[in-house]
């Protein structure tokens, strides 16, 4: 071991720090230094020592928790030679821990300087995790790290750390993809470049509470992507009156859209002051085009000059006028590995995202998240009732496959679409296929209302919910409405892992704080061949079912009309009750022209133990077992009736190997043929059934999601 006493000051870190140290520990992989691993050097060092790391890739997870030391590459001695940053790599090997942890035993003297820090995987702070200490992190390249929760590149908790001259890029987290700074402590950021980071949920680039951004050595923050909101910069509880950056994604980001930036308390106080000297993108108030063989340096203004990534087009389009703009997505497969797509991507108000067709425009998530998100971080921060919600957009003509994540469990992981505080929009012509086990599901929508979903197919997905819908909403509407049309959920298996919540195919809840009437219509719905299993034991014997509608408030009307729907052959495994339909709380429901049959253990469960008003009427419908076999959970009460031509009878579905892909179409001899009613007030039937055949034939309508159709040739 070599010990060198140094009696003079050595200026390092580009003349930013003067460090007086007593012992220099050299780390060389060839064995000519004091140690071959950085961990050995840290363990040997005392406060005031320097650990000097020579070039090489060190597969280690470092922990500094006893002494204030300087940990530096040769860049600390030769600051004109940045290759030392590139060539001195600390690699966490994705083994479940941050690459570098600096714990709360430290005071303010620890310095980390001149490294590439990569491949960390942890709960918080994939690259660097700092807690209750105030080190200096300088001149580091922090890339390709993952945090299941916050701070993919760096998580700083309860600390006044100094972060300067770093490049933070290509990191991933649930929130704060690049950097997350938490509470208590005014961390100082100067001269950093934060770019190309992603967040599954809250913020892609920089998410900070109480941080200070230097206004002399300026930071650059650009082209980051967040799953829900705020791609680049989220500031809260700031003491600064203004923020200046060198380079931002655009020169003049709109804070009210909460797309690129939000500064919550400044918005509320009306003192928003943000300046960018340079930008990476010049927004255009025009339709844009995207193709798999496009390039983000193209104009994107014509099909001949398409952009490559949908997320880049969302950042570039300017939609501040009354008319919607469109992003047209050509046919092809869009994925991260094939053409650098960034998922999940945010939607914008007044922008339609339109694929060429759902058969040919395919989003392959490669089991690494979900496709589309929309969230308003603070619904009361903006002015005007309509500005509190993202609205006035549509997503059409896509197949979304391989959503969710098989290995990384972000606490808000979804499989297809996740919306929060969204209203007045449309989803149309979308397939969801092959989702991974998950706690949320293919479509998750909360705090939303007044929307249209049409022609959605969910096939062969597992985990969570197929559709999870919490109805709420603001704006100027007196009634909260939703309309779902031609929705097919088939062959879903849920709750496959121990401790899973055990979701259902479709869950609709009216939130407790809703003070407006709710009017929902679902027409041509198929939920078949689903299975719920391995329910979280917290819920005991609760009767999970594949269609669940609930509301706990009894002072406003909560009306649901389920028209021409088929709910059949679903299972709730290892449950006392459940399987088919569940109504819970204050509900007024009409099940019209529908078939509820073959669900086990129950076709219909009533859970109304608080004894709210509940009226459920089957009109021209089939309910297997009739009124006698309805299961009432925990002494529930409800007024349930079977009206007009409702019956308990076998619908005689066509099964597989008869007519192919629609086994729940009625057979020629079915008693449900022509037995539906056309007399439904304030309702217009869709032109086609769920299979694309005419919905009304010869002035008659069948029960269920399909109108009888006899093909000209049999399909074997």
Predicted confidence (pLDDT) per residue in 447-500, tens digit: 788 899 999 999 877 766 788 888 876 555 678 889 999 999 987 765 444 434
- DSSP H/E element including 465: strand 465-471
The 10 Å CB-count burial string (b at 16+, else e) for 3-19 is: eeeeeeeeebbbebbeb
- Specify the DSSP element, H or E, that contains 43: helix 38-44
Question: pLDDT tens digits, residue range 228-266?
Answer: 778 999 887 777 778 999 999 999 987 777 788 887 665
Q: Which two tokens stand for residue 688?
A: 């086609």
Q: Which of 529, 410, 391 lies closest to 458, judged by CA?
A: 529
CA distances to 44, 63, 130, 594, 688 from 40, in Å: 6, 11, 21, 71, 71
Q: What is the pLDDT of residue 439?
A: 56
The C-alpha atoms of residue 31 and residue 9 are separated, in whole angstroms, by 28
**Residue 226: beta bridge partners?**
199
The region that residue 349 occupies, defined by phi over 0 for left and psi between -120 and 50 for alpha, beta otherwise, is beta
Tell me how far apart the alpha carbons of residues 578 and 380 are, in angstroms, rounded to a whole number: 39
Separation between Cα atoms, residue 579 and residue 545, nearest integer Å: 4
pLDDT at 498: 40
Instruction: Please state, in angstroms and rounded to a whole number, the distance separating the CA atoms of residues 220 and 218.
Output: 7
649: exposed, middle or buried (C-beta count within 10 Å: 0-12, 13-18, 19+)? middle
Taking alpha carbons only, the member of 386, 544, 373, 534 closest to residue 450 is 386
Task: Say which DSSP state 599 is in.
Answer: -
Measured between alpha carbons, how far apart are the two ends of the chain, in Å? 79
- pLDDT score of 440: 67
Rounded Cα–Cα distance for residues 174 and 162 (Å)? 24
Q: What is the pLDDT of residue 408?
A: 62
Residues of the chain with pLDDT under 70: 1-21, 105-108, 184, 264-272, 376-389, 406-412, 437-440, 463-464, 473-477, 493-504, 511-514, 534-540, 553-556, 656-661, 711-716
If we measure between CA atoms, which residue out of 485, 430, 434, 229 comes closest to residue 347?
Answer: 229
What integer pLDDT is reported at residue 353 of this predicted model? 98
Tell me what pLDDT residue 501 has.
39
Distances (CA, A) of 624 to 599, 600, 666: 9, 11, 16
Between the alpha carbon of residue 619 and those of residues 487, 521, 528, 622, the distances in Å are 21, 15, 21, 9
What distance in Å separates the CA atoms of residue 86 and residue 608, rounded to the nearest whole number?
Answer: 64
The strand order across the sheet containing 531-532 reads 493-494, 531-532, 571-572
DSSP β-ladder status, 198-199 and 172-175: parallel
pLDDT at 272: 67
Q: Model's pTM, two decimal places?
A: 0.88
């Amino acid at each position: 071991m070599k010990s060198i006493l140094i009696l003079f000051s050595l200026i390092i870190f580009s003349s930013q720090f003067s460090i007086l140290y007593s012992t220099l520990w050299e780390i060389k992989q060839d064995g000519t230094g004091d140690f071959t691993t950085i961990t050995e050097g840290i363990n040997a060092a005392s406060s005031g020592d320097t650990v000097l790391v020579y070039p090489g890739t060190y597969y280690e997870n470092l922990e500094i928790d006893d002494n204030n030391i300087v940990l530096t590459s040769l860049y600390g001695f030769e600051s004109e030679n940045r290759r030392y940053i590139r060539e001195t790599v600390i690699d966490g090997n994705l083994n479940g821990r941050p690459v570098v942890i600096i714990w709360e035993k430290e005071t303010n003297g620890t310095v980390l300087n001149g490294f590439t820090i990569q491949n960390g995987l942890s709960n918080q702070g994939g690259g660097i995790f700092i807690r209750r200490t105030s080190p200096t992190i300088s001149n580091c390249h922090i890339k390709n790290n993952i945090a299941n929760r916050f701070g993919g590149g760096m998580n700083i908790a309860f600390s006044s750390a100094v972060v300067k001259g770093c490049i933070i890029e290509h990191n991933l987290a649930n929130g704060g993809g690049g950097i997350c700074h938490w509470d208590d402590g005014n961390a100082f950021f100067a001269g950093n470049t934060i770019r190309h980071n992603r967040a599954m949920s809250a913020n892609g680039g920089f998410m900070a509470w109480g941080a200070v951004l230097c206004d002399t050595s300026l930071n650059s923050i650009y082209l980051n992507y967040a799953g829900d909101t705020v791609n680049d910069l989220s500031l809260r509880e700031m003491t600064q009156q203004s923020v200046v950056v060198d380079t931002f994604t655009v020169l003049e980001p709109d804070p009210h859209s909460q797309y690129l930036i939000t500064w919550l308390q400044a918005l509320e106080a009306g003192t928003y002051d943000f300046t960018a000297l340079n930008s990476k993108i010049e927004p255009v108030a025009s339709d844009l085009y995207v193709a798999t063989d496009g390039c983000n340096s193209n104009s994107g203004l014509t099909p001949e000059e398409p952009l490559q990534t949908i997320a880049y087009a969302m950042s570039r389009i300017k939609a501040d006028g009354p008319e919607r703009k469109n992003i047209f997505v050509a046919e092809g497969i869009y994925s991260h590995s094939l053409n650098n797509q960034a998922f999940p991507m945010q939607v914008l108000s007044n922008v339609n995202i339109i694929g060429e067709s759902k058969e040919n425009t395919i989003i392959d998530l490669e089991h690494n998240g979900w496709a589309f998100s929309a969230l308003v971080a603070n619904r009361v921060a903006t002015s005007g009732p309509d500005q509190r919600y993202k609205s006035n957009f549509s997503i059409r003509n896509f197949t979304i496959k391989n959503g969710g994540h098989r290995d990384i469990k972000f606490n808000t992981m979804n499989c297809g679409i996740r919306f929060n505080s969204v209203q007045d929009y449309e989803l149309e012509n979308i397939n969801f296929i092959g989702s991974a086990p998950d706690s949320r599901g293919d479509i998750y929508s909360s705090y939303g209302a007044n929307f249209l979903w049409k022609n959605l197919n969910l096939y062969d997905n597992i985990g969570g919910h197929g559709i999870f819908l919490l109805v709420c909403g603001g704006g100027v509407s007196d009634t909260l409405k939703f309309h779902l049309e031609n929705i097919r959920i088939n062959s879903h298996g849920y709750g496959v892992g121990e401790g899973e919540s055990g979701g259902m195919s479709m869950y609709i809840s009216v939130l407790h704080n809703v003070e407006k009437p709710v009017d929902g219509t679902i027409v041509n719905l198929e939920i078949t061949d689903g299975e719920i299993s391995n329910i979280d034991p917290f819920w005991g014997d609760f009767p999970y079912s594949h269609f669940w509608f609930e509301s706990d408030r009894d002072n406003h009307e909560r009306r649901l009309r389920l028209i021409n729907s088929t709910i059949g052959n679903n299972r709730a495994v290892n449950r006392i009750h459940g399987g088919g339909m569940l109504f819970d709380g204050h509900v007024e429901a009409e099940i019209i022209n529908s078939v509820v049959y073959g669900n086990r253990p129950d076709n219909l469960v009533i859970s109304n133990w608080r004894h709210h008003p509940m009226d459920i009427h089957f009109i021209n419908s089939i309910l297997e077992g009739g009124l006698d076999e309805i299961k009432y959970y925990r002494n529930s009460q409800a007024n349930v009736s079977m009206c007009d031509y409702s019956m308990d009878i076998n619908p005689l579905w066509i099964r597989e190997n008869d007519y192919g892909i629609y086994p729940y179409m009625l057979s020629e001899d079915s008693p449900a043929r022509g037995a539906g009613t056309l007399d439904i007030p304030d309702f217009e039937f869709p032109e086609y059934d769920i299979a694309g055949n005419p919905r009304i034939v010869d002035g008659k309508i069948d029960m269920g999601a399909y109108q009888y159709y006899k093909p000209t040739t049999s399909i074997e």
